Structure 1
Amino acid sequence: MNSILQSKLPNVGTTIFTVMSGLATEYGAINLSQGFPDFGSDEALSELVYTYMKKGMNQYAPMPGIMPLRERIAEKTEALYGYRLNPDTEITVTSGATEALYAAIAAIVRQGDEVIVPEPCYDSYIPAIELNGGTIVPVALPAPDFHINREALAAAISPRTRALIINTPHNPTGAVMSAEDMQWLENLLADTDIFLISDEVYEHIIFSGTHESALKYPRLAERSFVISSFGKTFHVTGWKVGYAVAPAPLMREFRKVHQFLTFSTATPLQYAIADYLKQPEKYLHVPAFYQEKRDKFCALMQETRFRFTPSEGTYFQLADYSAISDEADTDFAVRLTKEIGVATVPVSVFYGQPKQEHLLRFCFAKTDQTLERAVERLAKL
């Protein structure tokens, strides 16, 4: 070749989740870094997948997702948020929430558009915006509670603002947006042409109050792509089944992108989840299930030198290690994995420009035995 390929993402390497999980494997560490459970899903759900595979549901699904699943999503959305969806035109099943996020960004962001991104943020947002020619406008979520800074967010809006991304419950911080936050946001965007991408993949993992979906606020819903995940809800992250909902005009543009990303999502998985959703208790019990996990982990962590405030949502817990070390969080996380045998994620990597706050993110979606073993090691610091 006569030329060297110019990278579209020159500042992007292997994700921190891959790096830390790789280190955990190499050093035999307990992996509290990547966000996945180490316990199984409901056997009944797995049996449903097998049933549909045996029935021959193994070919391409319709591009937007099978209708029975879209109908169950519509029923669930109306029951939880009072928002009535048209399953035919306003719901698309995707191969994971990350695909849905990318499709939503690609559908609306053009060269030179600005996208407001509260930071820290999930790591796919910024590369997706850059790949589609957009400019990131970061707005810091101030420690220690990481709630929306309304003044800073309002000041970030310009004539070039195309979209705003929000994430509630929030990864990596566990912060949750309140009804007052959403009402304020609804008023802020009311007289603009700004789109909202609302990442709600942890909608069922919230520990006080109720989840304030953008779909509960009509003037937000009319401009929103709302992204959700069955993988998070049903402990099957490896299935990569998510979905997006949006008003029909927005969904038409979303599907134009989706059909050339994955076209469709695994057929037997869709049929199984559609059947499983007929029992709302299968997802309504999830908040209590994970609150028990959070409370267990936090009680154990009281015996360590880490400082923390219990997470408001998600299955992540931030912890401040400044009483233990003044190392950069990336260095401390690596040392923790190699020497103590517990893998975590340094929070600085969730910023476009790394910011040091001496915080680590722990995943507590683990068995009690895993959590006990991990904290026993952490208590030695």
Structure 2
Amino acid sequence: MARMTSSARPLLNRRLAEFGTTIFAEMSALAVRTGAINLGQGFPDTDGPEQVREAAVRALRDGRGNQYPPGPGVPELRTAIADHQRRRYGLEFDPDTEVLVTAGATEAIAASLLALVEPGDEVVALEPYYDSYAASIALAGGTRVPVTLRPHEGSFRLDLDELRDAITPRTRLLLINTPHNPTGTVLTRAELTAVAELAVERDLLVVTDEVYEHLTYDDAEHVPLATLPGMRGRTVTIGSSGKTFSFTGWKVGWVTAAPELVAAVRSAKQFLTYVSAGPFQYAVAEALALPDSYFEEFRASMTAKRDLLAAGLTDAGFTVFRPQGTYFITTDIRPLGFDDGFAFCRALPERCGVVAIPNAVFYDDRTAGAPFVRFAFCKRDEVLSDAVTRLKA
């Protein structure tokens, strides 16, 4: 069918032209086509707590959230988020003016960047980065400036001098992610203190993606950036229920920040989804009030899954970067005789029936990420064991 225009201009907004279909869609389709075990996309293969699921059912039956919920989110959830931040981190937020419920963390990221970034602004982001960061910066008309986390003694670390050098008079905002997807790095208190001091010195805003806050392992400590000196009034903190409670399809996320920052983000968010996930908001409010034992058991379970997959990948010949957080393991494929993660991941399902993600999609500098491949371990133990057996073969 002929185009209904004489213009030669491309149909897709030029700001999005570089992105195309996400690698997650490509690799998930490949998993379905080949019958491979999908360790690519980060979603659990079991549901979260039964009592939380029943809370959603109860909300549906009681007629709570079946119509448009309030724009900022239902009061019960906003109060639960504020209580969570106070109980866990000593952060005080007003549920009415400093909490905003979003359609998952992805919308929170997009709304924050659309609200706070203008054409010509630079956004400094840690590389490799979750793919929606780059798209959201582009949609806002900003320029992304990557600062690369580099392998060092078995993990990926931030070079604070490189971060400082990346900041220019055009820098508007730092986009920080800890625990970090895809590398599994958890920034230390010392590293985050240096980031905070830099933000205060240069008068920068900070958007911090902390959706894996409850998934830290061994001795790693999650330190919310907003708890550090000078950061409470300049930090937009993003959280999410999906990773913590294993209901990723509900898409319930949130923003906590000073009133003027929340108001700015809400101005952008209202023209994206406006509202979403009505009944699920009530369920997540109950989930956030679960006892500490839930979070401890969840972390212990995920630690065991990490160890199971990490051992299997090591035995199969990968170099494994043991994650301190999230539910992803980054590996180096060069010991196996490969250096192109794209080609490796596209061939892996046919070769051994396992799907992974090439980390290069999370880099501006594709060569820096070329030899690294990410596997998700948020799956049932028997699925991970089967995947390990296939990879060894």
Task: Please classify the TM superposition score into its range, dividing by the shorter chain length.
Answer: over 0.9
Q: Does 1:122 align with 2:130?
A: yes
Q: Does 1:21 align with 2:33?
A: no
What are the Cα deviations for residues 122-175 of structure 1, in whole angstroms up to 9, with x where unaligned? 001111111111111111111242221100000111111000101000000000
Report if the CA contact (8 A) 1:115-1:136 is conserved. Answer: yes
Report if the CA contact (8 A) 1:198-1:225 is conserved. Answer: yes
1:93 corresponds to: 101
Report if the CA contact (8 A) 2:186-2:220 is conserved. Answer: no
Bigger mean CA deviation after superposition, 335-344 or 354-363 = 354-363
1:311 corresponds to: 323
1:165 corresponds to: 175
* Deviation of 1:287 (Å): 2.0
Secondary structure, aligned partner of 1:232: helix
Q: Does 1:155 align with 2:168?
A: no
2:246 corresponds to: 235
What are the Cα deviations for residues 203-253 of structure 1, in whole angstroms up to 9, with x where unaligned? 000002321111221412211111011001000111111111110011111
1:163-202 maps to which residues of 2 (within 5 A)?
163-202=173-212
1:185-264 maps to which residues of 2 (within 5 A)?
185-207=195-217, 208-264=219-275
Q: Which amino acid aligns with 2:6?
A: N
Bigger mean CA deviation after superposition, 149-158 or 277-286 = 277-286
What are the Cα deviations for residues 14-45 of structure 1, in whole angstroms up to 9, with x where unaligned? 00011101101001100000000112221111
1:228-377 maps to which residues of 2 (within 5 A)?
228-281=239-292, 282-355=294-367, 356-377=369-390
What are the Cα deviations for residues 311-362 of structure 1, in whole angstroms up to 9, with x where unaligned? 1100000111111122411000011112211000001110123124411100
* Deviation of 1:303 (Å): 2.2
**CA RMSD of superposed structures (Å):** 1.3
1-side partners of 2:288 and 2:372: how far apart? 37
Secondary structure, aligned partner of 1:260: coil
Report if the CA contact (8 A) 2:84-2:289 is conserved. Answer: no
2:57 corresponds to: 50
TM-score by length of structure 2 reads 0.94
Q: Which amino acid aligns with 2:72?
A: P
Q: Does 1:32 align with 2:39?
A: yes
Q: Does 1:2 align with 2:6?
A: yes
Secondary structure, aligned partner of 2:318: coil
2-side partners of 1:209 and 1:148: how far apart? 15
* Deviation of 1:6 (Å): 5.1
Q: Which amino acid aligns with 2:313?
A: M
2-side partners of 1:111 and 1:25: how far apart? 40
Secondary structure, aligned partner of 1:285: helix
2-side partners of 1:103 and 1:285: how far apart? 33
Report if the CA contact (8 A) 1:70-1:93 is conserved. Answer: yes
What are the Cα deviations for residues 288-311 of structure 1, in whole angstroms up to 9, with x where unaligned? 221111112223333211111311
Identity %: 41
Report if the CA contact (8 A) 1:126-1:352 is conserved. Answer: no
1-side partners of 2:160 and 2:390: how far apart? 40
Secondary structure, aligned partner of 1:12: coil
1-side partners of 2:144 and 2:321: how far apart? 30
Secondary structure, aligned partner of 1:261: coil
Report if the CA contact (8 A) 2:358-2:370 is conserved. Answer: no
* Deviation of 1:265 (Å): 2.1
TM-score by length of structure 1 reads 0.97
What are the Cα deviations for residues 42-75 of structure 1, in whole angstroms up to 9, with x where unaligned? 1111111111101011111100001111111111
1-side partners of 2:362 and 2:149: how far apart? 12
Q: Which amino acid aligns with 1:244?
A: V
What are the Cα deviations for residues 250-272 of structure 1, in whole angstroms up to 9, with x where unaligned? 11111001111111121110111
- Paired residues, number: 380
Report if the CA contact (8 A) 1:81-1:215 is conserved. Answer: no
Structure 1 runs (4+) deviating above 3 angstroms are 282-285
Report if the CA contact (8 A) 2:342-2:370 is conserved. Answer: no
Are the structure 2 counterparts of residues 6 and 39 from structure 1 closer, same or farther at C-alpha, using a change threshold of 3 Å? closer
Report if the CA contact (8 A) 2:220-2:324 is conserved. Answer: no
Secondary structure, aligned partner of 1:143: strand
Report if the CA contact (8 A) 2:186-2:221 is conserved. Answer: no
Report if the CA contact (8 A) 1:111-1:132 is conserved. Answer: yes
What are the Cα deviations for residues 80-114 of structure 1, in whole angstroms up to 9, with x where unaligned? 11110000000001001000000100111001001
2-side partners of 1:165 and 1:217: how far apart? 16
Report if the CA contact (8 A) 1:60-1:266 is conserved. Answer: no
